[in-house]
Amino acid sequence: MIRGLCPPIATPFLNDEFSSQRFSDNIARWNSLPIDGYVVLGSNGEAPLLDDTERAAVIREARRTVPASRRLIAGTGRQSTRGTIRSVREAFDLGVDAVLVGVPDYYRPAMTHLVLRDHFLRVADASPGPMLVYSVPFYTGLPIDAELFGALLGHERIAGIKDSSGDLESLQGMIDAVRRAGREASVLIGNASVLAAGIAMGASGAVLAVGGVAPRECAEIARLAAEKRTDDAEQANRRLKPLALAVTREHGIGGLKAALDLIGWHGGDPRPPLQPAGASARAEIASMLKGLGLLA
């Protein structure tokens, strides 16, 4: 089981090259905060913009810096089944604890329920270790529904799902699918707007971009929800929501990296064609950070 808060961390660059020093500096600081693991090479890690050599360097540096007591999860999705299998095997060879595999979305009309099921099961057959499937319809337009997830849970190496839909009905469907399967599997919340509600429903943890900027706040919301202090959890979630939106849908990777810069961490510029946050976006994010007590 993968539980708790595992933020999908940013990949810092220096002169458009991956900076292992800045990356390890950030992880060293996160290691002192209330998180349970890390996701590297996710959407927020700009994985689609990295080449294979860089992706290996990111995993290698993360494995060197992340303590064994915390989970290291790597995004390994590719457009082909063959490419995904290769990426999964390489990630485990480099020491990850689990992999995160999204849907191949380029040929979207061809990605039927049966095609996706076959893809994920073939990857799981070849995987040396646990695999999470990743549903992020905001980017892919291809949500993984509870029926498909339930079918995948018949495979022992399918360890769970990251559901970034922000849809509580979808999240409940995933939790129910695990119960029907009669086995342990993780349902991880990928959208901060439903963190409190999702934990209260029985989700096992969260993979949130804002968790890399405000990990204490995310951990507190999860704690309150787990303790059934529903009103307190929802109130705290509402306070966090504007920042969560700013560093994801509203200002994207540029916003996330700007937030890290503002709190004194290594964010820097995204890799082109992504653009850094402009002055007005940075001012907006700074105001939100101050409101949460994260910036003086």
**All structural domains of the chain:** 4-227 (3.20.20.70)
| Among 162, 228, 241, 290, the one annotated catalytic | 162
CA pair distance 220, 33, nearest whole angstrom:
12
Percent of the chain, pLDDT > 70? 100
- DSSP state, residue 190: -
What average pLDDT does the chain have? 97
Total residue count of the chain as it appears in this document: 296
296: pLDDT strictly greater than 90? no
CA pair distance 200, 14, nearest whole angstrom:
41
Q: Is 10 helix (H, G, I), strand (E, B) or coil?
A: coil
Active site residue 257: no
The predicted pLDDT at position 1 comes to: 85
The model's pLDDT over 45-73, given as tens digits with 9 standing for 90+, comes to 999 999 999 999 999 999 999 999 999 99
| CA 212-215-219 angle, 5° bins | 140
The model's pLDDT over 151-198, given as tens digits with 9 standing for 90+, comes to 999 999 999 999 999 999 999 999 999 999 999 999 999 999 999 999
- DSSP state, residue 152: H
Q: What share of the chain is helix, strand, coil (3-state, %, to 5)?
A: 55, 15, 35
141: pLDDT strictly greater than 90? yes
228: pLDDT strictly greater than 90? yes
Cα 260 to Cα 214, 215, 234, 294: the distances in Å are 10, 12, 25, 11
> What would the two tokens of residue 46 be?
């700009």
Pairing of strands 17-18, 13-14: antiparallel
The model's pLDDT over 76-94, given as tens digits with 9 standing for 90+, comes to 999 999 999 999 999 999 9
- Categorize the per-residue pLDDT at 278 as very low, low, confident or very high, splitting at 50, 70 and 90: very high
What pTM was computed for the model? Answer: 0.96
CA pair distance 18, 264, nearest whole angstrom:
19
